[in-house]
Amino acid sequence: MNNRIFKSFSGLTLLTLLMIVFASPEVYSQRNQPRKTETVKVVKTTRAKAKSPARGTKVAALPQKTTVITHQNSKYHYRDGVYYKPQQNNYVVVAPPVGVRVKTLPANLPYLLRGNKRYYLYQGSYYYPVAEGGYEVVDTPVGAITDWLPEGYETVDLDGRVYYRVDETYYKAVLEPNGNVVYEVVRV
């Protein structure tokens, strides 16, 4: 009986030793493979209290010190980036027509770059500096890149793709090689 116990014990010991010697080292080691991570810049938007009326708003009286601008036989009243157009006995806040020029813009405005051209964003409209001085309202520059979205954007899902819309301008998020998220103006 002792011999039988000894043989069982010897067999069990031999089996354990074989498992230790021939076991894969991967079983006992941790896997130190680099994880694929994607850094995404989270942009939180907060709606600040509007300092100027939204487009489409009707006002009974114009603010003080507006400038009258005539463009293609239409009269506009302009102040601080807001355009008012007469309508019946009121004024309606409208988008400026493309081609309207203003003498100055506030300092430190956000801008878009398209190639080496700089477009300034002011009150939801894009302005481009003109050689004669001043700034002209231009169509939204398709392909321009910015690292921010204009205030008041809404998220739109078109054919399974997410876009951000402000008025009639659409932006799509683009991930740069350095991990930053930027926004490209696209035509939809």
Instruction: Tell me the average pLDDT of the chain.
Output: 79
Q: In this predicted structure, what is the pLDDT of residue 129? A: 94
Say how far apart CA 49 and CA 30 lie, in whole Å.
54
- Give the helix/strand (H/E) hosting 151: none
CB 79 within 8 A of CB 67: yes
Q: How many residues does the chain have?
A: 188
User: Mind listing the pLDDT tens digit for each residue in 2-56?
Assistant: 666 666 667 667 767 666 766 655 555 555 555 554 444 444 444 444 467 877 8
CB 154 within 8 A of CB 144: no
**pLDDT band of 76, cuts 50, 70, 90:** very high
Q: In this predicted structure, what is the pLDDT of residue 48? A: 45
- State what percent of residues in the chain have pLDDT above 90: 26
Mean pLDDT within 151-167? 86
Interior/surface letters 158-177, b for 16+ CB within 10 angstroms, e for the rest = eeeeebbbbeebbbeeeeee
Going by the DSSP 8-state scheme, the letter that residue 146 receives in this structure is E
